[in-house]
Amino acid sequence: MAPSAPAKTTQSSSERSALAAAFMVWALFLANRGEDLDTWFHLGVGRWIVAHHTVPHLDPFSFTAANNLYSDSHWLFQVVLYLVHALGGIPLITALQAACFLGGAALLVRSTPEPRLNGLKAVALIALAPIVADRMLLRPDMATFLFMAVFWRALFARPAAPRRWLWSLPLVQILWVNMHGLFMFGPVLTGAAAVGSIARAFMPLPQDWMQAEERAASWKELVLLFLAVCAACIVTPYGAEGIRYAFLLYSEIGHGSDSFMRSVSELKPAGIVYQLSPPVLMYRLILAGTALSAVLNRRRLSLSATAVILAFFHLAGQSVRNTAYFSFLAVPFMLQNFAAMLERDIPRVRPTLRGAAITAAVVLGFLLVSGRYYVHTHDNKTFGIGRNPFIRPDGAIAFVERSGLKGPYLNDILYGGMLIWRWHPERPIFTDGRLEVYGPEFLLEYRKMTEAPASLWDEVTGRWDIQYAILSGISPYSEKIIEYLTGRKDWPLLYSDGFSAVYARRDGPNRDIVVKTLKERKDLFDTPPPPIYPKTWLANDPLEALTRAKFAVFAGRPDAARAEYERILAARPDDLDSLRNLAAVEARTGHTELAITLFKHALKLGPRDAPTASTLGVLLLSSGRRDEAVPLLERAARLQPDLAQAHAALGAALYQRGQIDEAARSLETSLALAPNDPYAHFNLGACRLKQERLEDAVTSFHRALELKPDYSEARAVLSKLKR
């Protein structure tokens, strides 16, 4: 018997090594320059609260929302964030974030303390990391992941957690309700546990199911605990008003949300994420593992834990960002199911699981440290600790301060938080996208202006007396405005660095500054281009070069864009973004056959890339090659059903074929996704004429002309219909 002891020790040590490797992967994911622009919003609000010794009740940051009601459900997190930043800047905030996420992951592991499952735990944690990494932002999410783990450990751990864990939950809930709008997860988790205990006490459940609902407290105590957690939700400076924000958050997601919120990528339903990126693949893997574990352990399943997982699965289906919350709780649920059923089979697979975990950790670790992971996922992050070099409008901010531009300004919605941090209170912002402050009507008008600037730019800038605009070279909310302003001499470009740009009204209080700047301005494309590979072993996404090229396209500089894309492709021939965008440049400049050739090559590199298939289909359709275009457009719409361009072009193609009803349906789908497309409205009007629905046709033509005032075809049709 004695010789077996060392083998057991070695085995235990190797399993601990696998678990340590999994935590190493989490640490490497956390070591990224992943600050996003919301970080600066939270820092700005935290600074305001510390300076005023109170929380805001009316918005103090925006001139368009001045004195609008503002219930700040993140105030405590913002104060903590600001104080931590004051002590150690972004690196110390990153350390705080790492403590929250690693602490939460450790609590999940402790919820199933079976040592024999350490290999499986390691594999599950590594699979979970890419999903949760999408929420590893310097935002209140870090608190929510930690608090979710505390609640799961207290309520659903196996064996049951001590009573002291349970009665700490109301205090944790008080922290949660003052830190993040997703605090309602706490009552949901507690309520499920209470219902499970009531069922155990009063329903004739099978013995195994009753054992799965066993906890350290009675059902009466759990009901009291649930009530205490609910009561904690109103322990805020706003009282019960703070709860309204939690329901507002839920209204922002799913099919019931307004079109502005549906356009935000992280709020789109998870079912419409079509590219098989690492987070999507791992989500599907965890989803399959969770379902398998529940089926295999169905005789000893915890009904309350299952109800929680189903509720979070519903949330995941409503919004991409919620897949991380579902997966975070699905992992301990899955582990507990396997722990309950795998009594004899687990020793056979333990070495395989350990080896898989360590191998995956080494490979993923190399991809993260070398930057190749972020290149593959096209994520605007880099490995390391510090500020994100890709997202900040520092150059534009410095130019405005240096030049002395004055007056109200319009900003890209993504820059609102950074501008609050840098300029409050001297320069109030135009917007930062808080639905609860600005309201849906304002945000929908903003979206319409960004998608069809010709229809609203003069009205909006006149209403708010806008004197200059700070726009982004990488934001979808700026690209069409930049393209539109390029053709307007009364709104000249004063500054650009590829990432950000400043335009100003030629006449007005800044007239002298505009004249002087235009004389002295240095062309962006006269400056040396950015390096694509700063180190031979360290890969980086050529985002700066891509951004310069895209800005050149928007600003009417196709030659500069072509040169930049060709430079990228010389170093990275398989860069799909560059190839697709180069093809678009060739199409814009009349080189149609070359553009078609490039798009076909791009489609070979990315056969599941719906935008490539759609754009190629549009180009073929405009070249009179309808029969070639239709299969590509159908393919694009099938690959990505929320791609408005594919449905709009397919509608136009079907109209040409004489399939009027099918064309109208495609165009209606397109307009539900992108309601500010004047060409889709015009084509739908043409369909309505064929369907002898004159009133609807006139409405569609009027809408097209409203969105594009120089749309001569729409004006001509309306004039003809009036005769």
Give the number of domains in the chain: 3
Examine the domain organization and report whether 361 and 487 are in the same domain: no
Q: Is residue 532 in a domain?
A: no
Given a contact cutoff of 8 angstroms between Cβ atoms, the answer to whether 149 and 107 are in contact is yes
Q: Is residue 444 in a domain?
A: yes
Pick the last residue of a domain from 322, 349, 377: 377
Pick the last residue of a domain from 506, 521, 536: 521
> What does the pLDDT look like over 530-553, one tens digit per residue?
666 544 456 666 777 888 888 888
Examine the domain organization and report whether 408 and 476 are in the same domain: yes
Q: SS3 of 61, please?
A: coil
Q: Is residue 527 in a domain?
A: no
Examine the domain organization and report whether 589 and 564 are in the same domain: yes
Examine the domain organization and report whether 472 and 324 are in the same domain: no
Q: Is residue 619 in a domain?
A: yes
Whole-number Cα distances in Å, 102 to 94, 296, 542:
12, 30, 31
Pick the last residue of a domain from 350, 377, 404: 377
| Residue 9 clears pLDDT 50, i.e. is over it | no
What average pLDDT does the segment 183-202 reach?
88
Given a contact cutoff of 8 angstroms between Cβ atoms, the answer to whether 400 and 31 are in contact is no
Given a contact cutoff of 8 angstroms between Cβ atoms, the answer to whether 388 and 34 are in contact is yes
Q: Is residue 175 in a domain?
A: yes
Burial code (b: 16+ CB inside 10 Å, e: under 16) for 4-22 equals eeeeeeebeebbebbbebb
C-alpha 148/C-alpha 257 separation (Å) is 26
Examine the domain organization and report whether 46 and 114 are in the same domain: yes
Residue 221 sits at the vertex; the CA angle it makes with 112 and 327, to the nearest 5 degrees, is: 35
Examine the domain organization and report whether 40 and 120 are in the same domain: yes
Q: Is residue 216 in a domain?
A: yes
Query: What are the residue ranges of helices labelled H in 134-218?
Result: 141-156, 163-166, 169-177, 185-202, 207-212
Q: Is residue 389 in a domain?
A: no
CATH number of the domain within which 668 lies = 1.25.40.10
Examine the domain organization and report whether 63 and 98 are in the same domain: yes
CB contact set of 13 (below 8 Å; sequence gap of 6+): none
Examine the domain organization and report whether 357 and 471 are in the same domain: no
Q: Is residue 227 in a domain?
A: yes
> What does the pLDDT look like over 13-59, one tens digit per residue?
766 788 999 999 999 999 988 667 789 999 999 999 999 999 999 99
Ranking 261-265, 292-296, 438-442 by mean pLDDT, the lowest is 261-265
Q: Checking DSSP bridges between strand 468-472 and strand 500-504, what pairing results, if any? A: antiparallel
> What does the pLDDT look like over 276-331, one tens digit per residue?
788 889 999 999 999 999 998 888 888 888 999 999 998 888 878 889 999 999 99
Q: SS3 of 470, please?
A: strand
Examine the domain organization and report whether 562 and 684 are in the same domain: yes
Q: Which residue type does 654 have?
A: L
Cα torsion 589, 591, 594, 596: sign: positive
* Residues of the domain holding 681: 545-722
Ranking 219-228, 333-342, 532-541, 708-717 by mean pLDDT, the lowest is 532-541
C-alpha 701/C-alpha 373 separation (Å) is 47
Examine the domain organization and report whether 268 and 297 are in the same domain: yes
Given a contact cutoff of 8 angstroms between Cβ atoms, the answer to whether 473 and 530 are in contact is no
Examine the domain organization and report whether 678 and 613 are in the same domain: yes
- Token pair 């950074």 is found at 418
Examine the domain organization and report whether 517 and 551 are in the same domain: no
